[in-house]
Amino acid sequence: MLDSGTVALPDSQRRALLKKDSLWQKALRVHYRALVFDGHADTPTLMAEEGYDIGPRHAPAEAHLDLPRMKEGGLDAVFFSIYVPSYLGEGRRASARARRLIRTTKQQLEKHSGRAALATSAEEVRRLARNGKRAVLLGLEGGHALAASEDTLRALARQGVRYVTLTHIGTTSWADAATDTPRHGGLAPKGEDLVRAMNDAGVLVDLSHASDSTFYDALAVSRAPVILSHSSARALTPEARNVTDDMLRALAENNGLVMINFYDEYVEQPGGGPAALEDVLDHLDHAAQVAGVEHVGLGSDFDGVPRLPAGLGDATRLPWLTYGLLKRGYTAEEVYKILGGNALRVLEAAESRAAKPERDDSVAAARRR
């Protein structure tokens, strides 16, 4: 939570909302005082491939996120996805793609340094938010870009990467993906080593896109909380990319975090027609009921999906989630956690684990046998 917050919605819209429902007065106060943190946006791909500029305001049909709309929607921090397509394999092309997107993102942040900056820690996120700047963090989407190399992982961490999504749509040489043929029954031994190396480097282990077996194997190995940066609840929407209730409970035991994806195909009700904002609220609510409020966050997948739910078409619509959560009976403190407090917690936990890199080598050896 921030010390204060100015409502950034247009005055006419704010007045209309307050006239419609008195709860909006509380919702706007809570939302713009919160530190709102999105776990996943694919905007760097647009920047690198289409010359997209996050500085000016764009129409929702063009993109979901830019700096003006982040401000209007109260979005203080976002993980920009360093997305590496699976077809690039695990060699130089994949690593080069990652470096290119990191370089492009940093160039954009330098261009707009008065409004946004790279953050590599929870404290940097808080400091930027206090100063009215947007915090951008880097998450590598596609562990194949590591080329199964701990040295490459550490090099990317030095460049600012703070989470690694173990797989994308394809199974790698060391981890099975949710949407591909399994080869390892979860994590291969090399995958276990890489998870430990992520812990030591202060890099969060992201299990979105991972198979169920990979998910459980990673939880067994990781000494720090893990995240699902953009996944939803399989009990409501039976997609392989979503997580089961048992997985949500296991995530809570790990003290981890599921960041609910907004993509309509991952939140729509079977046979219920196109998704709407209420469906995203249903997934947030379900995850909170199963895993606990402390283990739920936002992972929009902005700029990475072709369709978003009605009423949630871009970053300016985030206050409607706050209103919806309050309408469902969540307290302000619970909403602060879901909007961003939980994301800061797991980021701090990863930093703390990296500061104490020693591990029980006998346990590690036993797991390899």
Which residues are tagged catalytic?
40, 42, 141, 168, 209, 230, 301
CA atoms 218, 79, 309, 322: torsion sign: positive
Three-state DSSP class for residue 282:
helix
- Are 65 and 128 in contact by the 8 Å Cβ rule? The answer is no
Rounded Cα distance, 361 and 369, in Å: 13
Distances (CA, A) of 141 to 19, 54, 168, 290, 364: 43, 20, 7, 27, 26
Rounded Cα distance, 138 and 155, in Å: 13
In degrees to the nearest 10, what's the CA dihedral of 163, 323, 249, 222?
A: 10
Distances (CA, A) of 289 to 245, 248, 283: 10, 10, 10
Rounded Cα distance, 77 and 38, in Å: 6
- Are 173 and 188 in contact by the 8 Å Cβ rule? The answer is yes
Cα diameter, the chain = 65
Short-list 266, 268, 343, 319, CA closest to 38 = 343
238 phi-psi bin (left φ>0, alpha ψ -120 to 50, beta other): beta
Rounded Cα distance, 91 and 101, in Å: 16
How many helices, marked H, and strands, marked E, lie in the chain? 16, 9
Q: How many C-beta atoms surround the C-beta of residue 363 within 10 A?
A: 11
Rounded Cα distance, 177 and 169, in Å: 6
